Structure 1
Amino acid sequence: MNTRAIKVQKQGWIPKKERIWVIVAIIIAAAIMLWELRGLLQLSLTTLHSKQFEHTFKDFGSNARIALFFVLAYYVLLRVMKLRYLKGQAKVKKWLSTLLRFARRWHTPVAILAIAFIILHTVAVFMHGFKFDFNNISGLLSLIVLLPVPISGLFRYQRMDRKWHLRSGVAFAILFLIHSFL
């Protein structure tokens, strides 16, 4: 066993420098979910089927969309950094690398918060009434594809995912964009 594998084994599932922010994000996401679910469960049936409630679950989806655009920005910045025509642009590359470090640091905590808003959005849609139309089916498909993303993200920390985190994340991003904008 080489030293890299030994180091990966000793560090635990989440690297120490990211662990505190991941734990804080989990606590905040759990608090938001508990608070909002408690509020959703106290609503009357007439409120659940009103147009006003439709704005409520769309707000959960909008919050998730904003967070997911930030999460996906990490991959976009990685791709932009590899572009050939940036070879002579030292200032641009320095600025992009600063943005990339920021996006990398907050990628996982913001993704955890986005998943919390996605769960709230899903619960609220089912409370409102699930209809078999294109929008709901595309949302359900993107939710199903989202399920392996955080699990493969944990394996990504251990370098055991074989690019499944990226592949399932891209599949989710495509389905998410279809659900959000069509």
Structure 2
Amino acid sequence: MNAREIRAPKHGWIPKKERIWVIVAIVIAATFMLWELKGLLQLSSATLHSRQFEHTFKDFGSNARIGLFFVLAYYVLLRVIRLRTLNSLGNVKKWLATLLRFARRWHTPIAIIAIAFIILHAVAVFMHGFKFDFNNLSGLLALLVLLPVPFSGLFRYQRLDRKWHLRSGVAFAVLFLIHSFL
């Protein structure tokens, strides 16, 4: 027998230590989306075009923004901890390493829940009435760039993504920030 035959096959796309939290996040996101979509579909036409409903879909976007800031914090902390100026500050680097481990552990589950809020936000915007203005077009472009991010994240677990997860994530982050703050 050679070494290839002896190796145990890889089980699943998601590492075992993260699998439970990813599954829990998927269940929470799917349940929340179905619940909210059911509620959105039961609204009258007058309610869909009111100012009150505008606050509803903006709240979905605001909740997604909070989650995405946490998701992006992982990359910021990763970049900061690699700075050479922190080598002399041992306590700060240890504290940042602890924050980085926390952000890494919750990066995927929070991202899944944030994507659920983004989908609800997009559906509610289309139900309210999509206008061809800068804000809506930048949001639509950000949504289109977001589509490959979760799939490239799955490839990232297997080291097959060739940095597409990071690249598409950064492109989404830029478009998301433009959509959110301009």
**Alignment-derived partner of residue 79 in structure 1:** 79
**Alignment-derived partner of residue 128 in structure 1:** 128
Task: Give secondary structure in 2 for the equivalent of 1:106.
Answer: helix
Report whether the alignment pairs 1:36 with 2:39: no
User: Following TM superposition, by how much is the alpha carbon of 1:140 offset from its aligned partner in structure 2, in angstroms?
Assistant: 0.2
In the alignment, the residues of structure 1 paired with residue 15 and residue 118 of structure 2 have an alpha-carbon distance, to the nearest angstrom, of: 26
Task: Give secondary structure in 2 for the equivalent of 1:29.
Answer: helix
In the alignment, the residues of structure 2 paired with residue 70 and residue 11 of structure 1 have an alpha-carbon distance, to the nearest angstrom, of: 29
Q: Report % sequence identity.
A: 82
CA deviation vs aligned residue, 1:96-116 (integer Å, no higher than 9, x gap): 000000000000000000000
| Letter aligned with residue 77 of structure 1 | L
Report whether the alignment pairs 1:106 with 2:134: no
User: Following TM superposition, by how much is the alpha carbon of 1:34 offset from its aligned partner in structure 2, in angstroms?
Assistant: 0.6
Alignment RMSD (CA, Å): 1.3
User: Following TM superposition, by how much is the alpha carbon of 1:11 offset from its aligned partner in structure 2, in angstroms?
Assistant: 3.3
CA deviation vs aligned residue, 1:7-40 (integer Å, no higher than 9, x gap): 6x51320000000000000000001101100100
Where do 1:44-123 residues align within 5 Å?
44-123=44-123
| Letter aligned with residue 155 of structure 2 | F
User: Following TM superposition, by how much is the alpha carbon of 1:42 offset from its aligned partner in structure 2, in angstroms?
Assistant: 0.5
In the alignment, the residues of structure 1 paired with residue 69 and residue 11 of structure 2 have an alpha-carbon distance, to the nearest angstrom, of: 29
For residues 86 and 147 of structure 1, do their structure 2 counterparts lie closer, same or farther at Cα, with a shift above 3 Å needed? same
In the alignment, the residues of structure 2 paired with residue 173 and residue 68 of structure 1 have an alpha-carbon distance, to the nearest angstrom, of: 8
In the alignment, the residues of structure 2 paired with residue 121 and residue 2 of structure 1 have an alpha-carbon distance, to the nearest angstrom, of: 50
**Alignment-derived partner of residue 144 in structure 2:** 144
| Letter aligned with residue 31 of structure 2 | A
TM-score scaled to structure 2, two decimals? 0.96
Task: Give secondary structure in 1 for the equivalent of 2:88.
Answer: coil
User: Following TM superposition, by how much is the alpha carbon of 1:2 offset from its aligned partner in structure 2, in angstroms?
Assistant: 7.6
TM-score scaled to structure 1, two decimals? 0.96
Paired positions, count: 179
- Structure 2 unaligned spans of 5+: none
CA deviation vs aligned residue, 1:137-173 (integer Å, no higher than 9, x gap): 0000000000000000000000000000000000000
